[in-house]
Amino acid sequence: MLDPGRLSIHQVTLLPQCSTAQFIDVLVRNGVGCASLWRDKTREFGVERTARLVAESGIALSGYCWGGLITSPDRTEAAAARDEVRRALDEAAALKAPCLVFVAGGVDARDRNIADARARALDGVADLIPHARSVGVRIALEPLHPMICATRSVLSTMRLANAWCDELGADDIVGIAVDTYAVWWDPDLESEIARAGKRICSFHVSDWLPDTQDLRLDRGMMGDGVIDLPAIRRMVEAAGYAGYVEVEIFSQRNWWTKDPDEVVAVIKDRAQTAT
């Protein structure tokens, strides 16, 4: 049984149905006390305006999603991408979000070199640390599923996230976001979550559908797939994580087509029965 006070809903779960104002309204109306915001929507609505809306609503934020894609082999492109992450950190600070979810970036077709892409991502994070510290927003390194390694993130496992954190030596400002959908398959999951310990600063849940039809937009509601979500929640809690459980469901063929209040009602139920 998840303490209902620990439930957070990620804006992307209602991405096509709701403007930012409508999204906050749905949460308030259904008694959900925490959200994670999607950057594109926030910029569309305006960062200051979003910050005011959130403050007035009394909704807490568990995160701001996302910044990154800094693996370009072109130095100018990579520097511009890091500047963009700095702006995202500034926005997260303005919103009073505790962390920015960091998506490393993929493998560039120009060099086809995954080891170099990883090295550039790690160097780039090191370069971003002073700015993150100055604005007080944690960089949440999020291992993403290997199926989006080419396009979105060469950070593919908890083990690699821990190795990066070891190298960076900045656990005060660089943490790890554990997303069940991205890491559930990992044979080393339990030991690497334990190793991460207090580095875990964000925990995202959704389920893996057996008949998955898309590499990014076909996540399942908790309880509809094959992931033992309570087991993974126990792992992160045993590692010391006691924060929000953030529901993040990209679902083009199902939940994105449904009424927002219905989606939130199902989430509240499944947070109790299947998370």
Residues near a copy of itself, by CB under 8 A: 106-109, 112-114, 118, 145-147, 149-151, 154, 156-157, 159-160, 163, 184-188, 208-210, 212-213, 215, 225-228
Q: For the chain, list the strands marked E by DSSP.
A: 7-10, 34-38, 60-68, 99-103, 138-141, 174-179, 200-205, 245-247
Taking the least distance from each CB to a copy of itself, the nearer of 60 and 126 is: 126
Element of type H or E holding 117:
helix 114-135
Nearest Cα residue to 25 out of 39, 11, 12, 38: 11
Please, where are the H alpha helices in 6-74? 20-29, 39-45, 47-57
Burial 22-41 (b: 16+ CB within 10 A, else e): ebbebbeeeebbbbbbbbeb
Nearest Cα residue to 267 out of 5, 13, 25, 12: 13
Task: Report residue 65 as tokens.
Answer: 């999603």
Residue 173 beta carbon to a copy of itself: minimum distance, rounded to whole angstroms: 23
Single-letter amino acid, residue 217: L
Taking the least distance from each CB to a copy of itself, the nearer of 25 and 111 is: 111
What is the pairing mode between strands 200-205 and 7-10?
unpaired
Residue 154 beta carbon to a copy of itself: minimum distance, rounded to whole angstroms: 8
Element of type H or E holding 194:
helix 189-196
Taking the least distance from each CB to a copy of itself, the nearer of 56 and 214 is: 214
CB 60 within 8 A of CB 27: no
Taking the least distance from each CB to a copy of itself, the nearer of 146 and 197 is: 146
Taking the least distance from each CB to a copy of itself, the nearer of 108 and 246 is: 108
Residue 261 beta carbon to a copy of itself: minimum distance, rounded to whole angstroms: 28
Residue 226 beta carbon to a copy of itself: minimum distance, rounded to whole angstroms: 4
Residue 93 beta carbon to a copy of itself: minimum distance, rounded to whole angstroms: 31
Taking the least distance from each CB to a copy of itself, the nearer of 16 and 210 is: 210
Taking the least distance from each CB to a copy of itself, the nearer of 60 and 114 is: 114
d(Cα 154, Cα 103) in Å, to the nearest integer? 9
Residue 97 beta carbon to a copy of itself: minimum distance, rounded to whole angstroms: 29
Residue 134 beta carbon to a copy of itself: minimum distance, rounded to whole angstroms: 31
